[in-house]
Amino acid sequence: MGASVADGARRAYRHPSDDPAALALLLRRFPGLGPLEIEQIQCLELARRRWRPGMVMLGEGQEAHPYLLLSGWVSRQRVLSDGRRLIFDLLVPGDGFGFAADANARARRQVVAVTAVETVDAEALAVLARECGPEGRLAQAMAALQREDEARLMESMVRLGRLTALEKVSHFLLEMERRTSTGPGELKGFRLPLTQQTIGDALGLSIVHVNRVLRHLRGESLVSLQGGFVRILDPLRLAALAALEPPERAARGSAV
């Protein structure tokens, strides 16, 4: 019974600043870049920054500054005055935030480091994208990322509003596996450096219930959880539980 989605942040997410794979992680998220853009991005390596767990990387109402995540996990969230918290979105290495200027102020969310985090300052990247015009590859790639972001938020809304706890957790685990997998042939699972409280705040569930659902998933041999490391043992059955729709489809007619 010793399985858990334990913290483990300090162990596995000690700042891997000298990790040569970090940059590759970033680039994989920017589709369709040419050698010019890649060279430009590599210049950004200079402006790194580290954040300790719990640090507020972007306060509520504060003007946004763009960053890319090299390592660690980040939460975009809102905390109500009575302490309730909702996590809009969890960001993993390769993700970025703070690009849509001023969007943060209106949306009244804060960005917080969940684990130890290492970022690169992407201000220069945003400037470069603007300079090359909206048709440039970089701007296109960033727009694509923003659309991904938005699609993820929509998916989260469905999850929050219309899925059961079992469906929520299954859906969440599958999403996280997809987003953290660094390539093909990776059947060995993935790290999930989140407390059950954090998972609960992302799914709109109490910590106790998250725990029970995880126990159930373990009991059914659908996933294995050990020290913050997750293995999805039966992806098909889990996807069925997650109420996942078939990926995408063509356009449809108009009238009901």
Partner DNA sequence: CGGTTATTTGAAATACGTCAATTCAAGTGG
Partner DNA sequence: CCACTTGAATTGACGTATTTCAAATAACCG
> Does residue number 206 form part of the binding site for DNA (CB under 7 A)?
yes
Which partner in a copy of itself, DNA, none is near 164 (CB below 5 to 8 A by kind)?
DNA
- Listed in order, strand segments (DSSP E) in the chain are 48-51, 56-58, 67-71, 74-79, 85-91, 96-97, 110-113, 117-121, 190-191, 223-226, 229-232
Pairing of strands 56-58, 96-97: unpaired
Binding mask 121-160 for DNA (x = CB under 7 A): ----------------------------------------
Helix or strand (DSSP H, E) at 196: helix 196-203
- Return the sign of the alpha-carbon dihedral for residues 146, 87, 182, 96: positive
Q: Which amino acid is at 165?
A: A
Minimal distance, residue 79 CB to DNA, in Å: 15
Minimal distance, residue 34 CB to DNA, in Å: 42
> Does residue number 255 form part of the binding site for DNA (CB under 7 A)?
no
Minimal distance, residue 170 CB to DNA, in Å: 12
Distances (CA, A) of 53 to 8, 30, 47: 12, 27, 20
Instruction: Choose which of 27, 86, 233, 239 interacts with a copy of itself (CB under 8 A).
Output: 86
* Interface with a copy of itself in residues 103-162 (CB under 8 A): 103, 105-110, 112, 134, 147-148, 150-151, 153-154, 156-158, 160-162
